[in-house]
Amino acid sequence: MPSHHIVLHLASDATGQTLDSLVRASVAQFSHADVTYHRWNLLRTRSQLRRALEGIAQDPGPVLSSVVDPRLRHELTVGCGHIGVRLINVLDPVTNILQDELGEAAIARPGGQYVMDDAYFRRIDAMHFVLAHDDGQEMGGLSHADVVLVGVSRASKTPTSFYLANCGVKAANVPLIPNLPLPDELEHLSRPVVGLTIDPDVLIGIRRHRLDVMADRRMDLVMRNNPYVDPEQVEEEVRWARRVCARHGWPLVDVSQRSIEETSAAVMEVIAQWEERHRS
């Protein structure tokens, strides 16, 4: 089936992350979608909105909007009508339900989810924590972590830690290295520990790419014979790491076919289960 090309305009009065997430999730359901995106973010004034409407008119297509200011919404609605493109205010269904259930009118504050509140500062603290406790650094601080990730090299420990930090979760990560004892702090930790495991073939591909990026091309043969990417050794390394986690009762999350977002969601579920057990 041939790809079908469409143009989508994303209009936001904030960073546009809400629309981006919604559209990515929706477009992913279509195997043959060829989408051109135009993003119009931080639309806070009428002049900014008019410039966006001029851009929409130059390359017409449906408009998805998360603009909340009533005056700008009205102008956007009128403008899209004149251009002849469809407009969907994506926040309306949820906002309407909440207004009905809460008996309170929405305040229509642009970027209201980005206030510098306690949650914001928790995310900042979590980011600092990850920086200080990445790849086995500052082992003495593990007791202050919300979660500790363990796994072999290139098993997505660091990117997952940073994504968790953006969710306000203090995540440390510690590499599992064959023939080296586990750090004492990790052995006796009273915090949730999650093992990230990965299919050996996928891991070899990731490691080969890493070596290719780092290596001098004249060293290519040497690097490709490196034990770091030797299939038998990598398979044994992954098996060994899984045995370590099983011996300590650490749950495993397989990252082979998971995005960082999906891996982080699985880790947060483990954290919630650990906290529930320790509350009872």
229 is in an annotated binding site: no
158 is in an annotated binding site: yes
Residue-wise pLDDT tens digits, 116-157: 667 778 889 999 999 999 998 988 889 999 999 999 999 999
Residue-wise pLDDT tens digits, 50-104: 999 999 999 999 999 999 999 999 999 999 999 999 999 998 998 889 888 889 8
57 neighbors 40 (Cβ within 8 angstroms):
no
152 is in an annotated binding site: yes
154 is in an annotated binding site: yes
139 neighbors 198 (Cβ within 8 angstroms):
no
For residue 235, what are its two tokens? 């398979």
Write down all domains in the chain, each with its CATH number in brackets. 4-113 (3.40.50.2300), 118-279 (3.40.50)
Cα(67)–Cα(41) distance, integer angstroms? 9
140 is in an annotated binding site: no
52 is in an annotated binding site: no
156 is in an annotated binding site: yes
For residue 183, what are its two tokens? 């750090």
170 is in an annotated binding site: no
